[in-house]
């Protein structure tokens, strides 16, 4: 099974190499800002000409928004705009132009309705101080050295890794992986290199192929499994809150930048800002590590995993719980289970977000019209079942697998999966023509399908 996978490693750069990487990132920013200014100027000129009644045939010639069109325009003008262009790799300029081409395409598709989801805004200019330095290489010499502690990138040369790249090197030596691109980026005060790799993965089978597990995520417990296991929520952000506040107060006492007066930040402000950034990066790394371990264990052990389609964006509107919800990483759990289930030969079933897993009795199937968030135990008035509400929800999610198997690859009408929870009887599933049935929003991908969106981290 072929899939696209990412391997991310920390770098140990010397001062000269760091200056070279920053020069490449700056070149990408210059190309992006120049092309964006050119696009905006042409758009404004054409809009002004239309107000004067100029016919479309006589309007100023528009500039192509594709990567090839932007690159052609940049190559024609780069000796005047960037006379130092030969000092950096051509991939640096290609990085900035490609980001702009993607942004313009997403904006245009969002306006015309071709792109689903939240509206996408028009691309903005990149700031030297606020933009994360990044450069992507797609051509040239990109390889891992035989010692597995160094990598070679175009124009940057031989860079030392902070950790061993043996996991990627083994696949490259066995001809089961092919490096497609490499991205150098600074996160939390440390430079990383990410390799986008086409990997030939061996077919795997979960340890318990017939096992079905329902996963109910929450704040008190990160995950409650239908097997009865409770996964504690480490709450990394809460644990680091005192240190983050202290670092934030220390930063506020330093002389920072001021765009209105043109004042530059002091060196002490820069060091304090770096300390705060490293503290935030540590929280993010701890959260990422815990989520990867949990999802990997579930995907390798169980053949069928059932989760909910949660409206995380809407849940974050609750100002009392937004910080804890964001710290838990509900959406990241589902994203990782999506591709890890395929990698391990299992399947992931996603229940509709309107399915009342917490309001439905896992014993008799009776559903309550209302269930307050403060009620931590589920009391069924029909059969007298008393159970923790999260375990009850996980059991209901696991029960959806049987309905999915009965329906085969078709739609599954989950009990009460409607916008409004009904107390008696089954609820008819309503849907518009051409849309996914309400009862089963996620279609289980066939094993062996190539997934181009799967990203993982090397541990």
Q: What is the 3-state secondary structure (H, E, C) of 118-173?
A: CCCCCCCCCCCCCCCCEEEECCCCCEECCCCCEEEECCCEEEEECCCCHHHHHHHH
| pLDDT of 146 higher than 90 | yes
| pLDDT, average across residues 21-32 | 97
Residue 410 binned pLDDT confidence (cut-offs 50, 70, 90):
very low
Residue 216 appears among annotated catalytic residues: yes
Which of the following is catalytic: 91, 327, 338, 390? 390
Return the bridge partners of 440, or none.
Answer: 351
- Other Cβ atoms less than 10 A from the Cβ of 44: the count is 11
pTM value is 0.82
Hey, what are 370's tokens?
């209302």
Q: Structural domain boundaries of the chain?
A: 2-16+133-200, 26-112, 208-233+287-407
pLDDT at 433: 36
Which of the following is catalytic: 308, 327, 338, 418? 308
- Answer whether CATH 1.10.150 is correct for domain 208-233+287-407: no
pLDDT at 436: 35
Q: 407 or 21: whose pLDDT is higher? A: 21
| pLDDT, average across residues 322-327 | 92
| pLDDT, average across residues 389-412 | 76
Residue 253 binned pLDDT confidence (cut-offs 50, 70, 90):
very high
Report the distance separating Cα 340 and Cα 5, nearest Å.
Answer: 11
List Cβ neighbours of 262 (8 Å cut-off, separation of 6 or more): none
Report the distance separating Cα 256 and Cα 239, nearest Å.
Answer: 27
Residue 175 appears among annotated catalytic residues: no
| pLDDT of 421 higher than 70 | no
Q: 263 or 373: whose pLDDT is higher? A: 263
Residue 407 binned pLDDT confidence (cut-offs 50, 70, 90):
low
Residue 372 binned pLDDT confidence (cut-offs 50, 70, 90):
confident
pLDDT at 455: 37
pLDDT at 415: 46
Report the distance separating Cα 419 and Cα 429, nearest Å.
Answer: 10
Q: Read off the pLDDT of residues 265-288 as tens digits, 9 standing for 90 and up.
A: 999 999 999 999 999 999 999 999
Report the distance separating Cα 164 and Cα 151, nearest Å.
Answer: 10
Residue 454 binned pLDDT confidence (cut-offs 50, 70, 90):
very low
Which of the following is catalytic: 91, 216, 327, 352? 216
Report the distance separating Cα 162 and Cα 192, nearest Å.
Answer: 9
| pLDDT of 382 higher than 90 | no
| pLDDT of 416 higher than 70 | no
Residue 232 appears among annotated catalytic residues: no
pLDDT at 451: 37
Return the bridge partners of 349, or none.
Answer: 306
| pLDDT, average across residues 392-403 | 88
| pLDDT, average across residues 14-18 | 96
| pLDDT of 185 higher than 90 | yes
């Amino acid at each position: 099974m072929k899939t696209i996978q990412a391997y991310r490693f920390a770098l140990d750069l010397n001062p000269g190499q760091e200056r070279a990487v920053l020069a490449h990132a700056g070149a990408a920013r210059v190309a992006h800002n120049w092309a964006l200014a050119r696009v905006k100027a042409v758009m404004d000129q054409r809009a002004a000409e239309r107000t004067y009644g100029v016919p479309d045939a006589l309007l100023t010639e528009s500039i192509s928004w594709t990567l090839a069109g932007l690159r052609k325009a940049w190559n024609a003008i780069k000796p005047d705009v960037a006379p130092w262009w030969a000092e950096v790799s051509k991939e640096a300029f290609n990085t900035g132009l490609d980001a702009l081409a993607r942004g313009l395409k997403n904006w245009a598709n969002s306006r015309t309705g071709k792109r689903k989801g939240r509206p996408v805004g028009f691309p903005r200019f990149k700031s030297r101080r606020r933009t994360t330095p990044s450069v992507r290489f797609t051509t040239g010499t990109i390889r891992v050295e035989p010692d597995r502690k160094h990598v070679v990138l175009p124009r940057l040369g031989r860079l030392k890794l902070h950790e061993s790249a043996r996991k990627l090197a083994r696949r490259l030596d066995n001809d089961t992986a092919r490096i497609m691109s490499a991205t150098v980026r600074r996160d939390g005060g440390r430079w990383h290199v990410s390799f986008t790799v086409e990997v030939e993965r061996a077919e795997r089978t979960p340890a318990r192929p017939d096992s079905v597990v329902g996963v109910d995520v929450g704040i008190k417990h990160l995950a409650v499994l239908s097997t009865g296991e409770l996964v504690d929520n480490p709450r990394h952000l809460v644990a680091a809150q005192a240190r983050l506040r202290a670092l934030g107060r220390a930063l506020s006492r330093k002389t920072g930048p001021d765009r209105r007066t043109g004042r530059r930040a002091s060196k002490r402000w820069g060091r304090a800002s770096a300390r705060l950034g490293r503290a935030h990066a540590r929280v993010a790394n701890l959260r990422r590590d815990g989520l990867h371990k949990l999802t990997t264990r579930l995907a390798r052990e169980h053949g069928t995993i059932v989760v909910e389609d949660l409206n995380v964006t809407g849940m974050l509107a609750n100002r009392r719980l937004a910080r804890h919800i964001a710290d838990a990483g509900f959406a990241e759990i589902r994203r990782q289970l999506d591709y890890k289930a395929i990698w391990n030969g299992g399947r992931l079933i996603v229940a509709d977000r309107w399915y009342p897993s917490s309001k439905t009795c896992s014993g008799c199937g009776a559903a309550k019209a209302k269930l307050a968030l403060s009620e931590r135990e589920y009391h069924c008035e029909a059969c007298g079942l008393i159970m923790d509400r999260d375990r009850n929800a996980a059991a209901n999610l696991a029960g959806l697998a049987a309905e999915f198997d009965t329906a085969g690859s078709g739609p599954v009408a989950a009990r009460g999966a409607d916008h409004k929870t009904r107390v008696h009887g089954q609820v008819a599933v309503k849907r518009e023509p051409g849309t996914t049935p309400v009862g089963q929003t996620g279609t289980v991908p066939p094993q062996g399908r190539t997934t181009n969106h799967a990203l993982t981290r090397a541990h």
